[in-house]
Amino acid sequence: MARRTKEEALATRNRLLDAAELLFQAQGVSQTTLQQIAQQAGATRGAIYWHFKDKADLFNAMMERVILPLETPPKSDIPGDDPLVEIEEGLIHALTLMVADPQVRRVFDIATHKVEYTHDMASVQQRHLDARNACVVDFEKALRLAARRARIRLPLPGAVAAQGMHALMGGLIQNWLLDPTAFDLVSTGRRTFRVYLAGLGFPRTPAGGVPTAHDAETAAA
């Protein structure tokens, strides 16, 4: 009986998170009440407080169910690996998930377009900042390592280059979410990433993913 009760509690928790996702995307986080989430999930308001401290706690739990783009660090510290290839493969995998996985797309849309950082959502803002900062640090480490291996000097500080890369890719995803039919997110993301690296002065070999003649023609079109 105890195991059954535990399983039922987990099922209720998941229903609440599913309901929160749908309502947050449809109405925005600030316009969605805990009572509405409970009703959508077929649960009571008390059930919400059994599982979550407040709306911010529920929001963060919803975020933790998926791995979002720009929250997965590249494996740039593994000897023998190309850190730029590691970043590119990680980004392309993330962009592919954005296109193919409705839940990843929905949660990213909520996190970037449907939440206001009011006082009671301070922990949500901090989570966003922590994820952003961790990703930028990983990008900077990878860029510095790649520059040493390529024996080039970055034209701007590594931290600035990493911030620019993060802003470029994050902005691309956010713009795609506004109209997913406007452009192909994966191919545009790959070409944009490679052009950014070229602008930093990185030479790319065929093994490392140099843009092909077709890429160049497409980019110029």
Name the residue range of residue 201's domain: 83-220
Mean pLDDT of 139-156: 94
Residues 16 and 57 in one domain: yes
Residues 107 and 213 in one domain: yes
Q: For residues 114 and 127, give the distance between their C-alpha atoms in angstroms, rounded to a whole number.
A: 15
Query: Does position 4 have pLDDT exceeding 70, yes or no?
Result: no
Residues 141 and 204 in one domain: yes
State the residue for tokens 């059994």: 50
pLDDT digits (tens, 9 = 90+) for 111-146: 888 988 888 888 888 988 998 999 999 999 999 999
Closest CA to 112 of 98, 100, 101: 98
Number of domains the chain contains: 2
Residues 121 and 216 in one domain: yes
Instruction: Find the CATH number of the domain harbouring 21.
Output: 1.10.10.60
Closest CA to 73 of 131, 144, 157: 131
Residues 13 and 52 in one domain: yes
Decide if 216 is inside a domain. Answer: yes
Residues 49 and 95 in one domain: no
pLDDT at 49: 94
Residues 135 and 54 in one domain: no
Position 215 confidence tier, pLDDT thresholds 50, 70, 90: very low
Residues 95 and 43 in one domain: no
- pLDDT above 70: percentage of residues in the chain: 86
Decide if 20 is inside a domain. Answer: yes
Residues 88 and 40 in one domain: no
Residues 31 and 118 in one domain: no
Decide if 106 is inside a domain. Answer: yes
Instruction: Find the CATH number of the domain harbouring 100.
Output: 1.10.357.10
In a 13 Å sphere around the CA of 192, the CA atoms on its Cβ side amount to: 20
Residues 212 and 113 in one domain: yes
Closest CA to 196 of 157, 168, 218, 155: 168
Decide if 77 is inside a domain. Answer: no
pLDDT digits (tens, 9 = 90+) for 46-77: 999 999 999 999 999 998 888 777 775 544 44
pLDDT digits (tens, 9 = 90+) for 30-52: 999 999 999 999 999 999 999 99
Decide if 72 is inside a domain. Answer: no
Residues 149 and 57 in one domain: no
